[in-house]
Amino acid sequence: MSDAQKTCSFERWTALCGRLNLTIDGKTYNALIAAHAEPHRFYHTLDHIAACLRHLNDVRDITHRPDEIEMAFWFHDAVYAPFSATNEEDSAEWAADWLQDCGADRDVFSRIADLILATKSHDAPEDIDGQFILDIDLSILGTPAEIYDDFELNIRREYKRVPGFIFRKKRRAILQGFLERDRLYSTGYFHDKLGATARINLIRTVSGLG
C-alpha cells in the first residue's frame, strides 16, 4: 500500500463521515479513489489529496471547521478534465448533492461547496478556512526544487495535447500572476513556512519558460 493510500484510507474516510454525522458511503469513497486514478491525471492524483490532508493535519487546530476543509479536499479535484472550464463547479455539485443525500445540513454542504469553488481562481476569501484550503492546495509551490520540478513536469503531461509554445505562454502567465501577488500565501503559517521557497521556484520556472 502506498503512502497516499494509507493517508486516504477508508478508515479515515469513515471517521470523517462520522464526525460530520453523515451516512457512511463506501461506494462514493471508491468512486473518489477511482476518479483520482484516471489515466489522464499525473499531478491531480491521490498523491495530491494525501499531501493536502497531511498539511491539514498540521493546522487543524488553527482552522474553524477542519472537517469541512477535509471533506472539501476529498472532492476538490473529483472531476478533472484538463480542457474543461467547469471542473470545480462539477466537483462542488457532486459534493453538495452527495452531502445532502447523506443528511448534511444546508449550511454544511454549502460551505464545503464554497471551499471547493474557491480553488478555481485561487483568490483568497476573507474567511480563514477558505484561506487555508487555498494555501494548502498551493503548498506544492513551496516544495524543494526537485519536487516542484516534478510537479511542473506532471502538469505538462496533463496538457500534453497542447502545443509547446502555447503551453509555455499560458503557464508563464499563470505563474507570473502568482509572483505579482504581495503574498503567495494568505495565512501566516504557510507564508512563513513556504513563501520564500515558492518565490524562488516560481522565478526560476518563469525565467525558463521564456
Same domain? 127 vs 54: yes
Which of 58, 94, 52, 91 has the alpha carbon at shortest distance from 73?
A: 52
Same domain? 198 vs 101: no
Q: Which of 116, 137, 158 is the last residue of a domain?
A: 137
Which of 205, 155, 153 has the alpha carbon at shortest distance from 175?
A: 205
Same domain? 192 vs 121: no
Please determine, for residue 27, whether its predicted confidence score (pLDDT) is greater than 80.
Answer: yes
Same domain? 124 vs 110: yes
- Residue range(s) defining the domain that contains residue 191: 142-209
Same domain? 53 vs 122: yes
21: how many CB neighbours lie within 10 A of its CB?
11
Give 61-112 pLDDT, tens digit per residue.
999 999 999 999 999 999 999 999 999 999 999 999 999 999 999 999 999 9
Q: Which of 137, 156, 178 is the last residue of a domain?
A: 137
The predicted pLDDT at position 26 comes to 94
pTM of the model: 0.96
Q: Specify the number of domains making up the chain.
A: 2
Give 131-140 pLDDT, tens digit per residue.
999 999 999 9
Same domain? 117 vs 16: yes
Same domain? 166 vs 122: no
Give the rounded percent of residues in the chain with a pLDDT score beyond 70. Answer: 100
Same domain? 122 vs 183: no
Same domain? 147 vs 88: no
pLDDT band at 115, cuts 50/70/90? very high
Please determine, for residue 47, whether its predicted confidence score (pLDDT) is greater than 80.
Answer: yes
The predicted pLDDT at position 110 comes to 97
Q: Which of 112, 137, 162 is the last residue of a domain?
A: 137
